[in-house]
């Protein structure tokens, strides 16, 4: 009966192609627990030929591999494997493709105000507007002096304790985000407020793992009253409280900007606005920290794998600074190769290979394929950025692909898929762009990032995590050494001047 009802609802229009569902289990076994983007990319090739019946073009049956689908316990999951499909649906039909999958656990915990998981509509809209305004290119430019200063503190720390390089990278991102958001200055890694924000946000991200999304579709797992109350400790209230956002620290920050507007309100309007603002602000650390850390770790990995690229970038930087100072944002137009490295870092190992899932709010038909209301839709950023038609030799790390023949930077419109799609595209992307540039340029101006002695002979292996929304390199050894005496003196002089 269900099959007949389903057929009627679709009017006979087929679902996007994919592996044949099994009885009861559907496609459960076809969805891998790890690195699912690789499997989806393979499926897209397997189901990816549009075939003509009887060799007659007009009798084409649609078996488009750029859109594939799976069904698990009544949930339809759609994966868009090309930039065209992602743009056609997530961007051009954004009004119905911008929701997020239902995550009741988050709602019960009052995380519904946190932007990356917020449902599309009246809760999301004002929070998103707030962040778009606060993180637009012009506004982000005002944080440059802070980003530059913090990047230099990273150099000081790396010189003092190079073996703690991973900790220093993580601390840098925490400092940048909490300063920009709340004007809060993290003391050190032991700072208790920093630690609490970190733990709360880690907990939040485990709830949006693909596994957690499937849990929503198993009715018997939907009610978990025994353990939920222990977790519902109003995380946002705590989060905002820890950062003192209502006391409005004097440093310019997004919190400070928004306080004045809230102060004009009263009663329930004020209460609602406070929740909205604290949710929007709390989104920034949870969405921005691990992601930028992952991209920075990939940059370190690239330096180990390609010393020649590192050297070429150093030559470019030296020609601009004369090795008498650190590079700055003002130097950026004269450092296209450094910029190209940052872009290639994002393309080569996309931090969120399947972006963040969208959900559809209305039945839809695309290229003769049926996409039902409630379907979860992934844009396969990995497949888009490893498409050999767009990126020659896509598995290779080649910054030159982002340069014109005269050495100037080349625009690449597909690269924005690193940050997702349509109305939900990452609002932090301009901030990331600045952070990566100044971190990479500062690092290369004074350090060589190399394999450890023990890794020099034999094959050096690296792997990436594949069980979460964010993918990052698994731990690898690395040696961070000042390039020479000049570099060391530059760092010391800068440290003393602070
Ligand atoms: C390399 C670093 C980063 C990457 C790769 C990244 C990627 C993404 C992606 C793929 C999405 C989902 C887009 C979609 O649904 O289509 C997203 C959403 C979001 N990102 Fe980022 N992001 C990064 C850094 C940041 C930073 C630094 C911030 C804050 C300053 C930030 C704030 C957000 C927020 C608030 C959302 C939710 C937007 C919404 O749902 O409307 N992200 N990001």
**Of 346, 418, 426, 432, which is best to mutate to test ligand 1, by the most ligand atoms within 8 angstroms of its C-beta?**
426
Same domain flag for 127 and 102: yes
User: How does residue 219 score in pLDDT terms, banded at 50, 70 and 90?
Assistant: very low
Number of domains in the chain: 2
CA–CA distances in Å: residue 178 to residues 187, 310, 449: 11, 30, 28
Q: How confident is the model at residue 248 (pLDDT cuts 50, 70, 90)?
A: low
335 pLDDT exceeds 80?
A: yes
**Complex-level ipTM:** 1.00
Q: Pairing mode, if any, of strands 369-371 and 67-72?
A: unpaired
- Identify which has the larger pLDDT, 211 or 228: 211
362, 385, 408 - which closes a domain: 385
pLDDT at 357 over 90: yes
Binding site membership of 140 for ligand 1 (Cβ less than 6 Å): no
Q: Is the CB of 351 under 6 A from ligand 1?
A: yes
284 C-beta closer than 6 A to ligand 1: yes
Q: What's 338's domain CATH number?
A: 1.10.630.10
H/E run at residue 80? strand 75-80
**Residue 379 Rama label (left phi>0; alpha psi -120 to 50; beta):** beta
**pLDDT score of 3:** 81
374 and 250 within one domain: no
Which residue shows structure tokens 């699912």?
36
Kindly give the number of the ligand 1 atom that is closest to the alpha carbon of 295: 1
Using the atom order of ligand 1, give the atom closest to the CA of residue 289.
Answer: 27
Where residue 370 falls among pLDDT bands split at 50, 70, 90?
A: very high
Cα(268) to centroid of ligand 1, in Å? 30
* Residue 230 clears pLDDT 50, i.e. is over it: no
Task: Decide whether any atom of ligand 1 lies within 6 Å of the 352 Cβ.
Answer: yes
Residue 217 φ then ψ, to 5°: -95, 0
What pLDDT, on the 0 to 100 scale, is given for residue 215?
Answer: 46
Quote the CA–CA distance of 428 and 350 in Å, as a whole number. 15
What confidence score (pLDDT) does residue 153 get?
A: 97
Please report the DSSP string for 82-109 in residue order.
SHHHHIIIIITTTTTS-B----HHHHHT
- φ and ψ of 165, to 5 deg: -55, -35
Last residue of a domain, one of 385, 408, 442: 385
Which amino acid residue places its CA nearest to atom 1 of ligand 1? 292
| Confidence category of residue 375, pLDDT binned at 50, 70, 90 | very high
Q: Whose CA is nearest to atom 18 of ligand 1?
A: 426
Range from 102-116, 291-305, 343-357, 418-432 carrying the lowest mean pLDDT: 102-116
CA torsion sign for 442, 448, 454, 460 is positive
- Whether pLDDT at 60 is above 80: no
Confidence of residue 259 (pLDDT cuts 50, 70, 90): confident
d(CA 26, CA 63): 20
Mean pLDDT of 19-40: 90
Question: What confidence score (pLDDT) does residue 263 get?
Answer: 81
pLDDT of 200 over the 60 cut: yes
> How buried is residue 458: exposed, middle or buried, by Cβ count under 10 Å (0-12/13-18/19+)?
exposed
Report pLDDT for 52.
Answer: 44
Burial 327-347 (b: 16+ CB within 10 A, else e): bbeebbeebbbbbbbbbbbbb
pLDDT at res. 220: 41
Q: Is the pLDDT of residue 250 over 70?
A: no
Ligand 1 contact via 116 beta carbon (within 6 Å): yes
- Which segment of 44-58, 160-174, 423-437, 461-475 scores lowest on mean pLDDT? 44-58
Pair (80, 116) in one structural domain: no
Which of 342, 370, 385 marks a domain boundary? 385
| CA dihedral sign of residues 217, 223, 226, 230 | positive
CA distance 235 to 233: 5
Quick one: pLDDT at residue 221? 41
pLDDT tens-digit readout, 89-142: 999 999 999 999 987 766 666 667 788 889 999 989 999 999 999 999 999 999
Residue 63 has pLDDT above 70, yes or no: no
pLDDT in the model for residue 84 = 93
Instruction: Examine the domain organization and report whether 16 and 155 are in the same domain.
Output: no
- Which mutation among 169, 428, 469, 472 tests ligand 1's pocket best, with the greatest number of atoms within 8 A of CB? 428
Q: Is 126 in the pocket of ligand 1 (CB under 6 A)?
A: no
Q: What is the pLDDT of residue 218?
A: 43
| CA distances in angstroms from 63 to 93, 132, 255, 368, listed in the order given | 21, 38, 50, 9
Among the residue ranges 60-64, 155-159, 179-183, the one predicted with the least confidence is: 60-64
For ligand 1, say whether the CB of 431 is within 6 Å of any of its atoms. Answer: yes
CA distance from start to end of the chain: 73
Clarify whether residues 33 and 114 are in a common domain. Answer: no
Average pLDDT rounded to a whole number, residues 145-167: 97
Share of the chain above pLDDT 90, in %: 61
Residue with tokens 């920075």: 296
Q: Which residues have CB under 8 Å from 290's CB, separation 6+?
A: 205, 470, 472
- Which of 42-51, 251-260, 366-375, 462-471 has the lowest average pLDDT? 42-51
- Measured in Å, residue 428 CA sits from the centre of ligand 1 at 6
Q: Residue 182 has what pLDDT?
A: 86
Q: Are residues 297 and 398 in the same domain?
A: yes
Residue 229 has pLDDT above 50, yes or no: no
DSSP string, 404-458: -TTSPBPP-GGGGGGG--GGGS-TTHHHHHHHHHHHHHHHHHHEEEE--HHHHSS
| Average pLDDT over all residues of the chain | 87
Distance (Å) of CA 346 to CA 128, 263, 289? 24, 40, 15
Half-sphere CA count of 306, side-chain side, radius 13 A: 17
pLDDT at 166: 96
Q: Specify the pLDDT at position 95.
A: 97
Host domain of residue 299:
96-352+386-497
Q: Which atom of ligand 1 is found nearest the CA of 381?
A: 10
Banded pLDDT at 476 (limits 50, 70, 90) = very high
426 is in an annotated binding site: yes
- Mutational test site, ligand 1, from 111, 124, 284, 419, max ligand atoms within 8 Å of CB: 419
Question: Which is it for the CA torsion 429, 434, 438, 444, positive or negative?
Answer: positive
Confidence of residue 238 (pLDDT cuts 50, 70, 90): low
- Distance from the alpha carbon of residue 427 to the mean position of ligand 1, in angstroms: 6
Q: Is the pLDDT of residue 366 over 50?
A: yes
Regarding whether 307 and 240 lie in a shared domain, the answer is yes
Based on the fold, state whether residues 133 and 150 are members of the same structural domain: yes
For range 425-432, the mean pLDDT: 98
Ligand 1 centroid, distance to 284 Cα (angstroms): 8
**Residue 43 sits in the same domain as residue 159:** no
- So what's the pLDDT on residue 286? 85
- Tokens for 311? 């050297």
Measure Cα distances from 204 to 105, 130, 171, 195, 264 in Å.
10, 21, 19, 14, 31
- pLDDT given at position 311: 98
Q: Is there a single domain that holds both residue 53 and residue 107?
A: no
List Cα–Cα distances, 197 to 127, 194, 208, 241, in angstroms: 20, 5, 17, 10
Residue indicated by tokens 């609802």 = 9
Could you identify the residue written with the tokens 């592996």?
19
C-beta 428 within 6 A of ligand 1:
yes
**209 lies in the same domain as 153:** yes
Atom from ligand 1 closest to the CA of residue 355: 10
Q: Is there an atom of ligand 1 within 6 Å of 173 CB?
A: no
pTM, full prediction = 0.92
Residue 485 CB burial class (10 angstroms; 0-12, 13-18, ≥19): exposed
- Of 63-77, 113-127, 198-212, 338-352, highest mean pLDDT: 338-352
Query: Do 210 and 250 reside in the same domain of the chain?
Result: yes
CB atoms within 10 A of CB 477: 12
Ligand 1 touching residue 115 (CB < 6 A): yes
């Amino acid at each position: 009966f269900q099959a007949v009802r389903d057929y009627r609802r679709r009017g006979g229009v087929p679902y996007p192609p994919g592996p044949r569902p099994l009885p009861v289990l559907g496609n459960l076994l076809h969805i891998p627990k790890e690195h699912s983007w690789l499997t989806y990319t393979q499926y897209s090739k397997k189901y990816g030929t549009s075939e003509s019946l009887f060799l007659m073009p007009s009798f084409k049956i649609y078996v488009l591999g750029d859109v594939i689908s799976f069904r698990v316990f009544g949930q339809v999951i759609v994966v868009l494997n090309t930039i065209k499909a992602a743009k056609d649906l997530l961007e051009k039909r954004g009004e119905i493709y911008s929701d997020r999958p239902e995550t009741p656990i988050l709602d019960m915990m009052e995380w519904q105000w946190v932007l990356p998981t917020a449902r599309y509509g009246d809760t999301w809209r004002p929070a998103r507007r707030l962040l778009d305004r606060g993180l637009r290119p012009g506004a982000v430019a005002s944080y440059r002096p802070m980003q530059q200063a913090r990047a230099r503190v990273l150099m000081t720390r790396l010189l003092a304790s190079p073996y703690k390089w991973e900790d220093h990278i993580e601390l840098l991102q925490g400092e940048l985000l909490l300063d920009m958001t709340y004007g809060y200055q993290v003391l050190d890694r032991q700072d208790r407020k920093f630690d609490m924000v970190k733990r709360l946000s880690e907990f939040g991200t485990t709830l949006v793992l693909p596994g957690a999304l499937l849990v929503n579709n198993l009715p018997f797992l939907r009610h978990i009253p025994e353990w939920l109350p222990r977790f519902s400790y109003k995380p946002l209230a705590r989060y905002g409280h820890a950062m003192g956002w209502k006391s409005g620290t004097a440093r310019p920050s997004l919190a400070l900007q928004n306080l004045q507007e809230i102060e004009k309100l009263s009663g329930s309007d004020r209460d609602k606005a406070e929740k909205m603002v604290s949710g929007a602000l709390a989104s920034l650390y949870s969405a921005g920290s691990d992601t930028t850390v992952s991209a920075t770790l990939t940059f370190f990995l690239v330096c180990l794998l390609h010393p020649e690229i590192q050297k070429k970038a150093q030559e470019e930087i030296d020609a601009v600074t004369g090795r008498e100072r650190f590079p700055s944002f003002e130097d950026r137009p004269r450092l296209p190769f450094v910029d190209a490295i940052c872009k290639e870092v994002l393309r080569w190992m996309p931090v969120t290979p399947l972006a963040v899932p969208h959900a559809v709010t209305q039945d839809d038909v695309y290229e003769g394929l049926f996409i039902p209301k409630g379907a979860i839709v992934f844009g396969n950023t990995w497949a888009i950025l490893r498409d050999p038609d767009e990126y020659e030799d896509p598995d290779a790390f080649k910054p030159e692909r982002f340069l014109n023949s005269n050495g100037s930077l080349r625009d690449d419109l597909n690269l924005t898929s690193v940050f997702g799609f349509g109305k939900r595209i990452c609002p932090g992307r301009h901030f990331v762009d600045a952070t990566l540039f100044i971190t990479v340029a500062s690092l290369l101006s004074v350090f060589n990032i190399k394999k450890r002695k023990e890794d020099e002979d034999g094959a050096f292996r690296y792997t990436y995590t594949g069980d979460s929304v964010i993918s990052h390199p698994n731990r690898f050894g690395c040696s961070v050494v000042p390039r020479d005496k000049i570099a060391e003196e530059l760092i010391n002089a800068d440290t003393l001047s602070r």
